[in-house]
Amino acid sequence: MANEPIREPTRSLEAPASAAEARQAESGGAAGGFWSVEVYRYDPEQSPQGHMLAYQVPRIEKITILDVLVYIQRHYDRSLAFRYACRLGMCGTCTVMVNGVPRWACRTSIERLGVDTIRIAPLRFLPVVKDVLVDYEPFFTKYRVAQSYFVPREERTEVAPISPVSRERRAIDPNLECITCGACYASCTMLGHDAEYLGPAALNRAYTLVRDSRDGARHERLTAVGGEHGCWRCHSLFNCTEVCPKHLSPTRAIQGLKRAIVLDWLRERLGSLSRKEAP
């Protein structure tokens, strides 16, 4: 069902509502036709069930998914709920499912998708608050469970740098720039089987800390991530790696955690054997 546009108040003295609208104004309207956009609508105060609702959005050059959401909110339904902040691909808060794939809304050009119909839905495996707005609480709870926070090895009063050319830094660097957008989490098939699985983002962060010589909680963290819902659940399908907009590989980080657990286990066993054999 296509939605009727709402009557738009006169905004002649206001700035255009979005970059898309600015381009639309420049190009003289929707001469290029319309995109068919379906958006997941859910309002717990109206109905316990969500549904997809179709909208027509002008084909505007370089229009992004975020532009589309802003357009629908301004022209069809001001109650449409979604989240965004920086609009620059820095904060990651606008991440939604676009035709089944988690993507940053602000950096996803519709033209580049190469499809005629766009379906926008909330991130998978997170509770929906309203429409495409999700609650990240379970996502961040798993950071706490995985102990994915820095625990200083010792009290310091001065900065403790790690040399940028050191082996340690080179091991950490490829997994460091996570902005907690949740795209990897929503792409992970294991979360569909085990809702308590810690997920790629929390495990990725845990790995960077396990490799950090300044951290003092290696044993506790490896115990936390090596549990029933931890890294051993990962089947290395690389879904998270494929969708990460920052080009990180949580899969490789999870493999690193598995190696660290095995190495520590071997060291412990070999240490206790040699202690037993000592005269």
- Which residues lie near ligand SF4 (CB under 6 A)? 92, 178-184, 200-201, 204, 244, 246, 248, 250
- As measured in angstroms, the least distance from the Cβ of 191 to ligand SF4 is 12
Q: Provide the minimum distance between the beta carbon of 21 and ligand SF4 in the complex, in angstroms, as a whole number.
A: 28
With both helix axes pointing from N to C terminus, report the angle between 65-75 and 19-27 in degrees, rounded to the nearest 10.
80
Question: Among 117, 146, 172, which residue's Cα sits nearest to residue 2?
Answer: 117
**8 A C-beta contact, residue 216 and residue 172:** no
- Hunting for tokens 């979604």 — which residue is that? 82
- Comparing CB distances to ligand SF4, the nearer of 58 and 200 is 200
Closer by beta carbon to ligand SF4, 30 or else 145: 145
Q: How far is the CB of 81 from ligand SF4 (least distance, A)?
A: 21
> To the nearest whole angstrom, how small is the minimum distance from the Cβ of residue 200 to ligand SF4?
6
C-beta closer to ligand SF4: residue 59 or 246: 246
Nearest approach in angstroms of CB 186 to ligand SF4 is 9
Instruction: Give the residue with the Cβ less far from ligand SF4, 63 or 183.
Output: 183
Q: How far apart are CA 203 and CA 218, in angstroms?
A: 13
Q: For residues 101 and 144, what is the distance between their CA atoms, to the nearest angstrom? A: 27
Contacts of 255 (CB under 8 A, 6+ apart): 236
Taking the least distance from each CB to ligand SF4, the nearer of 76 and 136 is 136
Report yes or no: 53 and 37 within 8 Å, Cβ to Cβ. Answer: no
